[in-house]
Amino acid sequence: MAKHANDRLGGTLDLLILNAVARSGAMHGYAIAQAIRGWSDEMLEIEDGSLYPALHRMTEEKWLKAEWGITETNRKARFYAITAAGRRQLESEERTWAQLIDAVGRVLRGAGAGG
């Protein structure tokens, strides 16, 4: 049975959300999920059951601030904006992601000690 593309995303949800909000400014949850989906050419779909708990947690961590507003479809929603602490966390997540990509690449190439 083939794995779903999102099964490979372990540990990247914070990175994706923080990046989306840093790139686009304040966004509501559905817009964040849609942006990630669009930027990934439909490869990454963030489910509500993962997105909203992550947004809540990141708000509690002070990486995001949330304010009520009105969406483009005239609905009330929470809009999330990145904070200074969130920008620092994003930088840390980006470094970690780059290190992971490098390490996986080395393994796939068979490089390194003991390879």
Mean pLDDT of the 19-34 span: 97
Which pLDDT belongs to residue 21? 98
Q: Quick check: helix, strand or coil at residue 43?
A: coil
* Residue ranges making up the domain that contains 21: 5-107
Distances, alpha carbon 88 to alpha carbons 18, 85, 104, in Å: 10, 5, 25
How many CA atoms does the CB half-sphere of 87 hold within 13 Å?
A: 7
Q: What pLDDT, in 10s, does the model give residues 41-64?
A: 999 999 999 999 999 999 999 999
| pTM across the whole model | 0.84
Asked, for residue 80, whether it belongs to a domain, the answer is yes
pLDDT for position 58 = 97
How many domains does the chain contain in total?
A: 1
The CATH number of residue 57's host domain is 1.10.10.10
Q: Are 80 and 27 in contact (CB under 8 A)?
A: yes
Residue 60 lies in a domain: yes
